[in-house]
Amino acid sequence: MSDTQLQQVIYYNSCYRHGVDEKRRVQIPAKWRPENEGTELTMILWPKHAAGDCLRVLPPVEMGRLMADIDAMPAGDEKKVFLKRFIGSGSTQVTLDKAGRICVPDEMARQAGIAHEAVLVGLLDRFEIWNPDRYEKVKAADAVLAHEAFKLME
């Protein structure tokens, strides 16, 4: 990997709690912002947790990997078309404004329970935006799984 490529790698780590303004804009941490102005991130309504939906935000490389993973599924698998339809209709492209904020579309904010505050959670290669109360439930569930999950790292 060249020095230029290394500089462009963003690691989404840590957890941040930010206010959401009246236009549903959320501040993105400076360390998480793409270097190239105008880079589109993909925001997906993500229903994969019992605590409720969140918003998952993928940089272009990770969105490309997600699409490749779905395309690699067998052509006759009905889940393939479902995932394309679900993710395609439940996602949008967002860019950061000059102040480093992204705007959460109204319907997505409503479904994810994002109103006055949001918790941004780093997932190393992408990040999630959570309703603070929902995230507390997720964090508690994650604590239960932590010991077993870390066994995979040994």
Domain that holds residue 102: 11-59+92-151
Question: Per-residue pLDDT for 1 more than 60?
Answer: no
Is 117 within a domain? yes
Please report whether residue 15 resides in a domain.
Answer: yes
Does 39 fall in a domain? yes
Please count the structural domains in the chain.
1
For residue 44, the SS3 value is strand
- Which CATH number goes with the domain that contains 108? 3.40.1550.20
Q: Is residue 72 part of a domain?
A: no
130 is a domain residue: yes
For residue 65, tell me if it sits in a domain.
no
- The mean pLDDT value of the chain amounts to 92
- The H or E element spanning position 118 is strand 117-122
Contact 13, 122 (CB under 8 A): yes
Tokens of 78: 């009905």
Q: Per-residue pLDDT tens for 54-78? A: 999 999 999 999 999 999 999 899 9
- 74 belongs to a structural domain: no
The pLDDT score that the predictor gives to residue 124 is 96
Distance from the Cα of residue 154 to its chain's centroid:
27
pLDDT digits (tens, 9 = 90+) for 65-121: 999 999 999 989 999 999 999 999 999 999 999 999 999 999 999 999 999 999 999
Q: Which of the pair, 36 or 123, is modelled with greater confidence?
A: 123
Residue 72: CB atoms within 10 Å: 8
Residue 129 lies in a domain: yes
Query: Please, which residues bridge with residue 16 across strands?
Result: 120
